[in-house]
Amino acid sequence: MPKIELSTEVQTVITTFEVTPGTCQDVLELLQDAISDFVSKQPGFIAAGLHVNDAQCRIANYSQWARREDFLAMLRSAEMRERSRKINEMCKSFEPVLYDVAAVY
């Protein structure tokens, strides 16, 4: 389970996907498969969550990693590059951004 806390020990990644209502479910299924079959088994993976807005035009993926390098290694792997190409074909755009937790309330 994701745990949000002030820590320099964990790398947080938030990836947003711009989709259409017609592709939202398909992209969501590709992401679910990627996370359950591959991403969650990579070194340093801690947790992930998928979120869909009510208009079904945006998907957000929140993930946590032990180290920044663990996330980057997963992202650069041949399998993830192939999965990302398929996801990209169905999205208007997507962008992974690495964050540090600045405050928790």
Mean pLDDT of 75-80: 97
Tokens of 19: 């989709």
> pLDDT value at position 4?
81
**Percent of the chain predicted with pLDDT > 90:** 85
Give DSSP secondary structure letters for 8-39: SS-EEEEEEEE--TTTHHHHHHHHHHHHHHTG
Mean pLDDT of 82-87: 96
- Is the residue at 104 inside a domain? no
Which residue segment(s) compose the domain that 65 sits in?
11-99
Axis crossing angle, helix 68-76 with helix 78-89, rounded to the nearest 10: 70
| Residue 32, domain CATH | 3.30.70.100
Q: Look at phi and psi of residue 44 and say left if phi exceeds 0, alpha if psi is from -120 to 50, else beta.
A: left
Q: Structurally, how many domains does the chain consist of?
A: 1
For residue range 17-57, list pLDDT tens digits in order: 999 999 999 999 999 999 999 999 999 999 999 999 999 99
- Is the residue at 1 inside a domain? no
- Is the residue at 5 inside a domain? no
